C-alpha cells in the first residue's frame, strides 16, 4: 500500500496552561481492514506466531506485553487490536508505526519515564488517563506495553486490578510475576499511593 493513501492525525489531549502533555494519540485513517486471519490453510511452517515478551491476557479484550517487534506482528494480527497503549517516552519505531497503519490500530502514547531511583512515583494524572482509555471498550481489544512489560505496564494493570476489587496482596503477586527479580519497591509503593486514590 502507498504511504500517501493514509491520513495521519496527531492530537494532543487538552491540558491546562503550563502542564505537561499527558498523552499523544496517533490515529490512522486506513482503508477498511479485514482483521480475519485464515489459519485453516496454513501449515505450522507457514504461520509463525510469536508473542511479545511478557505477553498475557489481562481481561477480555485487554492484553499486556513488552515492546513488540516485527517478529511479533503476525501474532498481534490474531488479536484484532483496535488500540495500543504505549507507556514509554521514546518515539514509536517506524516499522511498528507502519504495522499500526496497515492494521488500522490507534496508538495512545504516555511518556512515563523509567526511573532507577527509589520512591519515584508514576504521575497519578497520567495513570488515571491511561486507565480511562483501558476501561473504554471502544478501544478494545487493546494492548498495553512498555519496554519489558514489567514496571510501567505492571503499575497500570495493578490500578485496573484495584478497580476490579482485587486485594492488594494479589495485585502485588501479579506484579511480581511479571517483574521477576527486578520488582521495584518504589513501583509497589508508588502503585500503592495511586491505588489508594482509585475507587
Catalytic residues: 146
41: three-class secondary structure by DSSP: coil
Question: Are the C-beta atoms of 104 and 5 separated by less than 8 Å?
Answer: no
Four-CA torsion 106, 190, 158, 181, nearest 10 degrees: 100
Give the HSE-up count for residue 104: Cα atoms under 13 Å, Cβ half-sphere: 13
DSSP assignments along 53-118, one per residue: TT-EEEETTEEEES---GGGHHHHHHHT-SEEEE--SSPPPHHHHHHHHHHT-EEEE--PPP--ST
Amino acid at each position: 500500500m502507498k504511504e500517501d493513501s493514509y491520513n495521519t492525525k496527531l492530537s494532543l489531549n487538552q491540558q491546562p496552561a503550563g502542564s505537561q502533555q499527558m498523552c499523544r494519540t496517533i490515529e490512522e485513517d486506513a482503508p477498511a481492514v479485514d482483521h480475519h486471519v485464515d489459519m485453516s490453510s496454513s501449515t505450522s511452517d507457514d504461520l509463525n506466531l510469536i508473542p511479545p515478551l511478557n505477553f498475557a491476557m489481562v481481561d477480555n479484550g485487554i492484553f499486556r506485553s513488552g515492546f513488540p517487534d516485527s517478529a511479533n506482528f503476525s501474532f498481534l494480527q490474531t488479536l484484532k487490536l483496535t488500540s495500543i497503549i504505549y507507556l514509554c517516552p521514546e518515539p514509536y519505531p517506524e516499522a511498528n508505526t507502519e504495522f499500526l497503519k496497515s492494521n488500522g490500530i490507534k496508538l495512545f502514547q504516555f511518556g512515563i519515564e523509567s526511573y532507577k531511583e527509589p520512591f519515584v512515583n508514576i504521575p497519578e494524572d497520567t495513570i488515571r488517563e491511561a486507565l480511562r482509555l483501558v476501561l473504554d471498550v471502544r478501544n478494545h481489544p487493546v494492548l498495553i506495553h512498555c519496554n519489558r512489560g514489567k514496571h510501567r505496564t505492571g503499575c497500570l494493570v495493578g490500578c485496573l486490578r484495584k478497580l476490579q476489587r482485587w486485594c492488594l496482596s494479589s495485585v502485588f503477586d501479579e506484579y511480581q510475576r511479571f517483574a521477576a527479580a527486578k520488582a521495584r519497591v518504589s513501583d509497589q509503593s508508588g502503585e500503592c499511593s495511586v491505588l489508594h486514590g482509585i475507587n
